[in-house]
Amino acid sequence: MKQLTVISGKGGTGKTTVTASFAALAENAVLADCDVDAADLHLILKPEVISTHDFFGLKLAHIDYDLCTRCGQCVRHCRFDAIDDDINIIADRCEGCGVCQFVCPVDAISMKERLSGHSHISSTRFGPMAHARLFTAEEASGKLVAVVRNNARILAYEQKRGIIIIDGPPGIGCPVISAISGVDICLIVTEPSLSGMHDLERVLEVTAHFKIPSLVCINKCDINPDNSAKIKSFCKEAGVGVVGELVYDRSVTQAQIKGLSVVEYDDGEVSQSLKAMWNRIMEILDQIK
């Protein structure tokens, strides 16, 4: 079983647009949406949810004020500034470490499970899908990403699927690391803007650190041909293959409005490029043992 994660560094470069088309083109895939705090893939894949599970993220400190003597030990020991001077827990800062509970001399603090989201297993017109919803203002998105990936692996084994296609989150932090760890290939979708290029360089440092082979797709490549050329020469020097270039086309937004992947919506230039890119990635994945 192979795993491919689509990431970008910079948000809004077209990860989900690309992933949705791959989902339509793949013949034997499990889909996984690992952008758990602003998931959009379901807007195109329209999953029918088969089962939902509670996700408990980090624990949350809870103070019994009948026992609390307001000695302030917990405030002094909390490294996350999650307890204010009036001994109130600031829930969205609490990382559930349990230090306050340990240092409390009167056992007034307990650590409670905190429901932080849900994970779903679903079916779509393109095959099974694992996805999730992290409640807003919650921590532990990396942990929920790990749950989604695990669900996707189980689906792949049960249904004998050959590839997991993962829609990753933006950025380079915790949820991204969780979405790429141990995958066979990362596809980085970038755009020919200074921001896109800057973020591409940073995200490539992350994939290199975790020794994950990376490929690049330049979206809206015709908006700034000079920058597109720079990306290509940068990638060449870095030994990273550019496997696709997509032109700017309003059909991409129109497909999204219709709730379709681009390759389903029409057979224009962008669709053709997406198909060619998918075939190239499959060839490259086939060469990886």
Partner 1 sequence: MKVTVASGKGGTGKTTLVTNLALSLTQLERVQVLDCDVEEPNSNLFLGAELTHLENIEIMTPVVDAEKCDGCGKCVRFCQYNSLALAKEKVLVFSEMCHGCGGCKLVCPQNAISEEPRTIGVVEGGNIGALMDKETKEIQTPHIEFLQGLLKPSEPMAVPIIKALKKRMWDDGAVLLDAPPGTSCPVIEALRGSDFCLLVTEPTPFGLHDLKLAVDVVRSMEIPFGVIINRDGAGNDEVRKYCSNESIRVLLSIPESMEIAKLYSDGIPFVTKMDQWPVRFQNLWSDIEKMASAAQMAKVGEVK
Q: x/- binding map, residues 108-147, to partner 1, per CB under 8 A?
A: --------------------------x-xxxx-xx-----
Q: Is 211 in the site for partner 1 (CB under 8 A)?
A: no
DSSP 67-88: T-----HHHHH-TT--B-TT--
Q: Looking at 66, 257, 287, 289, which residue binds partner 1 (CB under 8 A)?
A: 257
Binding of residue 173 to partner 1 (CB under 8 A) = yes
Residue 13: CB minimum distance to partner 1, A? 6
Residue 112 has which token pair?
């409670």
Query: Smallest distance, Å, CB 191 to partner 1?
Result: 8
Q: Which helix (H) or strand (E) holds 150?
A: helix 141-158
Binds partner 1 (CB under 8 A): choice among 64, 81, 113, 267: 81
Q: Which residues inside 260-289 make contact with partner 1, applying CB under 8 A?
A: none
The least distance separating partner 1 from the CB of residue 119, rounded to whole angstroms, comes to 15
Nearer to partner 1, 16 or 271 (CB): 16
DSSP H/E element including 5: strand 2-7
Q: Between 26 and 41, name the residue whose CB sits nearer to partner 1.
A: 41
- Contact at 8 Å (CB) between 166 and 142? no
Calpha distance 202→200 (Å, rounded): 5
Largest interatomic CA distance in the chain: 70
Distance CA 202, CA 208 (A): 10
| Interaction between residue 182 and partner 1 (CB under 8 A) | no
Burial 61-79 (b: 16+ CB within 10 A, else e): bbbeeeeeeeeebbbeebe
Among 119, 102, 114, 111, CA closest to 139: 114
In the complex, the residues that contact partner 1 under the rule CB under 8 A are 8-13, 16, 37-38, 40, 43, 58-59, 77, 79-81, 92-93, 95-99, 102-103, 134, 136-139, 141-142, 169-177, 191-196, 198-199, 202-203, 205-206, 209-210, 223-224, 227, 250, 253, 256-257, 259
